Amino acid sequence: MLGQFLLAFREALEAALITAIIMAYLARTGRKPLIRYAWYGVYIAVAASFVLGTFIWFIYGGLSGSAKALFEGAAALFAVFILSSMIYWMASKAKNLREELERKVRDIFSRESTFALTSFSFIVVFREGLETVLFLTPFLLDDTASTLVGAFLGVASSLVLAYAIFIVGMKINIRKFFYFTSILLVLLAGGLVGYGTHELVEYSEDVGIELGWPSEYAYELEIPPENPLHHKGIIGSVFAVMLGYTVKAEWLRVIAHIGYLTIVLPMVIWVYKKKNLDEVEGV
């Protein structure tokens, strides 16, 4: 549940902050009547995200046997790709996010199009909704109840924090917040890379494709399912979601997991550190 909470919290907070920036700019520039058109885009984006999630769930429910393993593996890896690109985008744009959003809204004003404003707010919010749906899908398929509870708590908590920031005036270093949550999400994504790889290995075995030694187990811990340290136990499940922990893993899963972290984690840290260095040099 912790991983699902973190993901939903982070993505919902991004959507809430972006929405608040747009609304605040409209109010500050004397265009309050246009706020409702921005809200239309938000409402449609939220509804579209729910429809997409339901659609994916129904597709999965109609699958059977090896097709489920293929779907879960492909969904997990595709979700990691989307999330990784969004983490990098936020790392490179977080500093000037407000200015960039306001510039785009000004461009919309120059065209005097309420439809464009609705479309813009829809796109920026649905992007977060799409990412959330895709990334939560593998967890939803594996543990529906915990995923739904974690997602609900994450969204609710993010809305409370966004309200505190923009309405109450609570001070928070948004850049540092996104930095540390990005690190956690990269760790979570690494585990999902391993999970997706495992499902594809299972699929290959089901359809008779021999992968050789990469499909053999790199390690196998003698931990029974009833033990809390098992990856489905009370303690082990937390590490399973956050770090990709499992009591046994194929070589291909281990290589994919470590390879992802080796490439992506340093890159995200470097982008944030580089932005901080640029800020210092620009003073």
What does the pLDDT look like over 104-158, one tens digit per residue? 777 776 666 778 888 888 888 888 787 777 777 767 766 777 777 777 787 788 7
Mean pLDDT calculated for residue range 178-192: 84
pLDDT at 170 over 50: yes
- Count CB neighbours of 222 within 10 A: 7
Residue 122 vs residue 165, higher pLDDT: 122
Banded model confidence at residue 168, pLDDT cuts 50, 70, 90: low
pLDDT at 161 over 70: yes
Contact 138/76 with Cβ under 8 angstroms?
yes
Phi/psi of residue 5, nearest 5 degrees = -60, -50
Report the mean per-residue pLDDT for the chain: 79
Banded model confidence at residue 279, pLDDT cuts 50, 70, 90: very low
Please state, in angstroms and as integers, the Cα–Cα distance from residue 141 to each residue in 72, 112, 119, 146, following that order. 8, 44, 31, 11
- Return the pLDDT at 118: 86
Lowest mean pLDDT across 5-14, 134-143, 168-177: 168-177
Amino acid found at 97 = L
Locate all alpha helices (DSSP H) within the chain, ordered by sequence. Answer: 2-28, 35-61, 66-93, 97-111, 114-142, 144-163, 174-206, 236-243, 251-282
Largest CA distance in the chain: 66
For 24-78, write each residue's pLDDT tens digit. 778 877 778 888 888 898 889 889 988 888 887 777 777 777 888 888 888 888 8
- Return the pLDDT at 31: 79
- Return the pLDDT at 281: 41
Banded model confidence at residue 94, pLDDT cuts 50, 70, 90: low
CA angle in degrees (0–180, nearest 5) for 233-241-258: 120
- Return the pLDDT at 2: 61
- Return the pLDDT at 259: 95
Instruction: Look at the pTM and tell me if it is higher than 0.85.
Output: no
Residue 86 vs residue 199, higher pLDDT: 199
Banded model confidence at residue 197, pLDDT cuts 50, 70, 90: very high
For 250-278, write each residue's pLDDT tens digit. 999 999 999 999 999 998 888 877 765 45
- Count CB neighbours of 136 within 10 A: 23
Mean pLDDT calculated for residue range 229-250: 81
Residue found by looking up tokens 């090896």 in the block:
66
- Return the pLDDT at 166: 65
Contact 246/275 with Cβ under 8 angstroms?
no
